[in-house]
Chains A and B, each alone.
Chain A
């Protein structure tokens, strides 16, 4: 059987190298997310009562943040034992962002620079959040801090973000 002659569509490879094309990215769009039962309770307590709550394992008695249906340590069902956490603590470790970062969920660029830290709340539970102090010379491990909430009820309902930042105690 004779070979079919295939007509060449391109005689030779293109002269120009391909280039990037820029894709237009338009916000906003609707984006819903379910908290689930446990995180939902945390959200409700933050919004309604300006409280930080964690849930306690029936076996090892450890309090977990974020709240969880299964104990990360014991792998048992957590039940519904909620504990209010202190809103004061000590900076266990801090760092600060120097390079700019895009937030893919909100399509916005983050503030730059900003400081964040691991805060050891006064009952020993660790909580990661932003710090008010932005001056890296003034940031210190062991700094005593307290949570500062969004005061407007209608602005709350964003869970962890209902706390604006942790602020140094005594610095008014």
Chain B
């Protein structure tokens, strides 16, 4: 049995498309200092750091080498992980493994990305080898265009439903002081008039490129109770990978059906006695690169039956005031500093459990929350958080 551990400090920067005022080590420091302040700890209390960043998105290598001093792991273990879109959740998994093992009592988990430097979409296209997989890749947007087409065809969802997902994200983001895009969209038409990126995905169907960082402090059970009045327990985590070029489950070349989400759900839900996710979990912060994918993910995570994801959005079930809020923060559609994006999902889910969501606190009580991440060829990380164990 792993040792119990909790999140005792949460910090994030504000998120925006351009931060010429800081370099990315300085930007990351803002989140680290915010998390330390939240936990009322000093950097001396941190025993090890796990950081996530997609090197090459900023067109450099060894980002950990650049920010050992700023992020506070000078002279200490500082392990960087890069697993594409899931990086920020892989760092959470690393923190979980090391603290749960009993090796460290207090650890820092950081996700950061500064997308005003470099070219992320170009770098994602380069995630395919230069000799295979580039042809029809067009970065992440092309991939999610295929999934959207496939979702549309099999579920009966209309583009109006996708627009409703964006409207929900925008309403929530407008209530979140840290969110990036706060567009004040009024109607479905506002979304449907935005230009195409890769047909049928529009500009407003897809997540933005943001600059930002997020930091979490993990503590073992003994230390957590002393550090925080409101520790948020990391009950469990599951991460599943697979090889490239076969993003979808076998037989689905469009990538709508997935293997890793299926396996991750099966394992995480089984270990934690979750039989009806929408009843057993109170809220979710999911990694939704496109508004079409959000509806698809509702189905993959078993929040509803097959082909019914769009009905949850139509009925308002996943709204902030709804029965099962999804992404009250505004989600990835509003804010996407890639290396930090999955860390923010965990941070926001933890804030909801603490009741510290402020303007974007869910109406219903949140005792159990799920944070998910998606990246690479549909890699998956799922983190289960609880108010009490």
A contact set with B: CB distance below 8 Å: 17-20, 31, 33, 35, 39, 43, 66, 68, 72-73, 92-93, 95-99, 101-105, 110, 116-118, 126, 128-130, 136, 158-161
Contact present for B21 and A97 (CB under 8 Å):
no
On whether the beta carbons of A98 and B196 are closer than 8 Å, the reply is yes
Provide the bound-state CA to CA distance between A33 and B133, in Å.
14
Stretch from B45-53, B145-153, B340-348 contacting the other chain: B145-153
Query: Residues of B contacting A97 with CB < 8 Å?
Result: 138, 142, 198
Q: Which of B123, B129, B150, B200 contacts A33 (CB 8 A)?
A: B129
| Residues from chain B with Cβ under 8 Å of A18 in the complex | 20-22
Among B130, B132, B145, the residue within 8 A (CB) of A31 is B130
Q: Which residue of A lies closest to B22 (CB)?
A: A18
Q: Contacts A33-B131, A116-B135, A128-B135: A92 and B253 contacting too (C-beta < 8 A)?
A: yes
Given the complex of chains A and B, what is the CA–CA distance between A130 and B122 in angstroms? 18
| Closest chain B residue, CB of each to CB of A128 | B136
B20 touching A73, Cβ below 8 Å: no
Q: A17-B21, A20-B116, A104-B125 are known contacts. Are A99 and B132 too (CB-CB below 8 A)? A: no
Q: Quick one: which of B169-206 are within 8 Å of A by CB?
A: 195-200
CA distance A61 to B134 in the complex (A): 27
Partner of B135, one of A20, A104, A160: A160
In the complex the two chains form, is B243's CB within 8 Å of A66's CB? no
Q: How far is the CA of A103 from the CA of B136 in the complex (A)?
A: 12
A85 to B126 Cα, complex, angstroms: 27
- Residue contact A118 to B132, C-beta cutoff 8 Å: no
Q: Check if A35 sits within 8 Å of B131, measured CB to CB.
A: yes
Question: Closest CB-CB distance, B242 to chain A, in whole Å?
Answer: 8
Q: List, sorted by A's number, 11 A–B pairs whose CB atoms are closer than 8 Å.
A: A66-B133, A66-B245, A73-B250, A92-B253, A102-B122, A104-B125, A105-B130, A118-B136, A129-B135, A129-B136, A160-B132
CB distance from B385 to the nearest CB of A (A): 33
- Across the interface, do A101 and B254 meet the contact criterion of CB distance under 8 Å? no
Q: Which of B134, B199, B250 contacts A105 (CB 8 A)?
A: B134
Name B199's contact: one of A17, A96, A118, A160 (CB within 8 Å). A96
